[in-house]
């Protein structure tokens, strides 16, 4: 049972045993298990919402803030969306066994490079209970066992969701221990999980810089950091300003408490006089607090939505709230340099009608996702056709951007001969 309280080492050991079975389970059985999970979510939605309301009430009592409450909240629509994401993952091609490359050597040996599961993946996450199911579905489809470790703010939600996923998967033929949840041990438990190198192949933390720092101190298991997003939108001198306004408003306002929301707006000086007052007014009407550099302040001085002065700290801040820093720049190169200095390597966007500017931005900006004339809010496994994601990696090795099925695999070389020996 997923919610059984057991020592971390025992939980990880059971997951290791399950992973050995999962690696060879056929696609049809895995898909049946995912459909069973989706069906169970839909049939037990009332139970899920009751558990979630307990977490929401606790969050309101300790005033965790609107952004975190939004991440934590489940309703019928969100549960349905989670279930549909599981069905979408079931419908995706199975990455396990996919031939990445293959050739015959001059000596007659056949060499194939094929995708295989990583084994046991531990996912450590904050606030968002949907990650419980998204991560479990992606891991099971890619042939991995999963150990989940959520935050105390979502204790009840995570417990019921993990239990539903575990029971449904086992009933469909997957091994006991394929989905497990550890909870209740605080920082010591996190450290224990992060050092289970004999049982756990990878840890993926999905949370803020505090979680990242805590793992960096203790982890002996390899880690892919699904890290923070200090994302920018740059409005070039050739931009269609109507498009620019729509993109900025979507990137900031649609859901400000997520990692792909924009935190800084950069505007080329040639369109600043027209665009800055326009966008500051629209942002103010939407309830966004604007913090501007001196040139921004000069352009909107005396208006009813006059922003506060931005500090150096603002350029590097991931607000996760209805706050946006705005800066006027002299050139595209200055925008690229600003993003290079303050960005987190997550998602960056340019609004432009100039092909040369587009190409220079794409080549010059070092981030997992670089957008042209589109909102940063599209950085999402579901939007990218992956069904869901475990998080967005800002690293460069193994996985970068949305972490989906293929990113949860490694590979092996299969070599076939006919009595070959090396001379």
- Look at residue 3 and tell me if it is in a domain: no
Tell me whether strands 231-235 and 262-268 are parallel, antiparallel or unpaired.
parallel
- Look at residue 174 and tell me if it is in a domain: yes
Tell me whether strands 369-372 and 347-351 are parallel, antiparallel or unpaired.
parallel
- The whole-number average pLDDT for the span 292-321 is 92
pLDDT at position 382: 87
- Look at residue 58 and tell me if it is in a domain: yes
Q: Is the pLDDT of residue 359 over 80?
A: yes
* One domain for residues 18 and 122: yes
Q: pTM of the entire structure? A: 0.88
Tell me whether strands 110-117 and 409-416 are parallel, antiparallel or unpaired.
antiparallel
Q: Is the pLDDT of residue 25 over 80?
A: yes
Residue 117: enclosing H or E segment and its boundaries? strand 110-117
- The whole-number average pLDDT for the span 277-288 is 96
- The whole-number average pLDDT for the span 232-241 is 98
* One domain for residues 60 and 13: yes
pLDDT at position 185: 61
Domain with 322 in it: what CATH number?
Answer: 3.40.309.10
Domain with 99 in it: what CATH number?
Answer: 3.40.605.10
* One domain for residues 297 and 149: no
What percent of the chain stands above pLDDT 70? 98
* One domain for residues 208 and 166: yes
Q: Grade residue 225 by pLDDT with cuts at 50, 70 and 90.
A: confident
- Look at residue 423 and tell me if it is in a domain: no
What percent of the chain stands above pLDDT 90? 84
pLDDT at position 207: 78
Burial of 99 (0-12, 13-18, 19+ CB in 10 A): exposed
Q: Grade residue 386 by pLDDT with cuts at 50, 70 and 90.
A: confident
* One domain for residues 43 and 73: yes
Q: Is the pLDDT of residue 2 over 50?
A: no
* CA 277 – CA 58 distance, rounded (Å): 41
pLDDT at position 3: 45
Give the count of domains, the chain: 2
Q: Grade residue 301 by pLDDT with cuts at 50, 70 and 90.
A: confident
How many CA atoms does the CB half-sphere of 227 hold within 13 Å?
25
Q: Is the pLDDT of residue 1 over 50?
A: no
* One domain for residues 44 and 146: yes
Centre a 10 Å sphere on the Cβ of residue 150 and count the other Cβ atoms it contains.
27
* One domain for residues 332 and 400: no
* One domain for residues 202 and 274: no
* One domain for residues 198 and 59: yes
Mean pLDDT value across the chain:
94
* One domain for residues 409 and 354: no
Give residue 346's domain range: 231-378
* One domain for residues 363 and 396: no
* CA 296 – CA 239 distance, rounded (Å): 18
* One domain for residues 198 and 220: yes
pLDDT at position 208: 76
- Look at residue 384 and tell me if it is in a domain: no
Q: Grade residue 254 by pLDDT with cuts at 50, 70 and 90.
A: very high
pLDDT at position 247: 98
pLDDT at position 344: 93
Write out pLDDT tens, residues 65-116. 887 898 899 999 999 999 999 999 999 999 999 999 999 999 999 999 999 9
Write out pLDDT tens, residues 178-213. 999 997 667 889 999 999 999 999 999 987 778 888
């Amino acid at each position: 049972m997923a919610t059984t309280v057991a020592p971390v080492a025992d939980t990880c050991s059971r997951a290791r045993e399950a992973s050995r079975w999962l690696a060879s389970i056929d696609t049809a059985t895995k898909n049946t298990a995912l459909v069973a999970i989706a069906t169970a979510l839909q049939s037990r939605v009332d139970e899920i919402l009751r558990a979630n309301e307990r977490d929401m009430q606790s969050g309101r009592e300790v005033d965790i803030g609107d952004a975190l409450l939004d991440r934590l909240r489940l309703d019928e629509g969100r549960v349905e969306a989670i279930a549909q994401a599981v069905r979408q993952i079931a419908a995706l091609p199975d990455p396990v066994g996919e031939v990445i490359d293959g050739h015959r050597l001059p000596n007659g040996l056949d060499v194939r490079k094929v995708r295989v599961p990583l084994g046991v993946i531990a996912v450590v996450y904050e606030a968002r209970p949907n990650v419980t199911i998204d991560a479990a579905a992606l891991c099971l489809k890619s042939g991995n066992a999963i150990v989940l470790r959520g935050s105390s703010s979502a204790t009840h939600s995570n417990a019921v969701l993990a239990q539903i996923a575990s029971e449904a998967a086992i009933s469909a033929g997957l091994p006991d221990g394929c989905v497990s949840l550890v909870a209740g041990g605080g920082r010591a438990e996190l450290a224990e999980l992060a050092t289970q190198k004999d049982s756990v192949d990878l840890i993926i933390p999905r949370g803020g810089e505090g979680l990242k720092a805590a793992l960096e101190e203790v982890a002996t298991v390899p880690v892919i950091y699904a890290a923070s997003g200090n994302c920018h939108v740059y409005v070039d001198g050739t931009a269609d300003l109507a498009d620019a306004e729509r993109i900025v408003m979507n990137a900031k306002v649609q859901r400000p408490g997520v990692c792909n929301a924009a935190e800084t707006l950069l505007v080329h000086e040639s369109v600043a006089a027209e665009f800055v007052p326009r966008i500051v007014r629209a942002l103010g009407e939407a309830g966004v607090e604007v913090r501007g550099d001196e040139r921004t302040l000069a352009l909107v001085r005396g208006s009813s939505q006059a922003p506060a002065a931005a500090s150096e700290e603002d350029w590097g801040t991931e607000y996760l709230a209805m706050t946006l820093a705005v800066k006027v720049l002299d050139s595209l190169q200055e925008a690229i340099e600003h993003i290079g200095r303050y960005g987190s390597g997550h998602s960056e966007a340019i609004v432009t009608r100039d092909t040369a500017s587009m190409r220079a931005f794409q080549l010059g900006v070092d981030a997992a996702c670089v957008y042209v004339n589109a909102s940063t809010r599209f950085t999402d496994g579901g939007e990218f056709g992956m069904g869901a994601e475990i998080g967005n990696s800002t690293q460069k090795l193994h996985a970068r951007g949305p972490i989906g099925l293929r990113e949860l695999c490694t590979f092996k070389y299969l070599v076939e001969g006919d009595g070959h020996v090396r001379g």
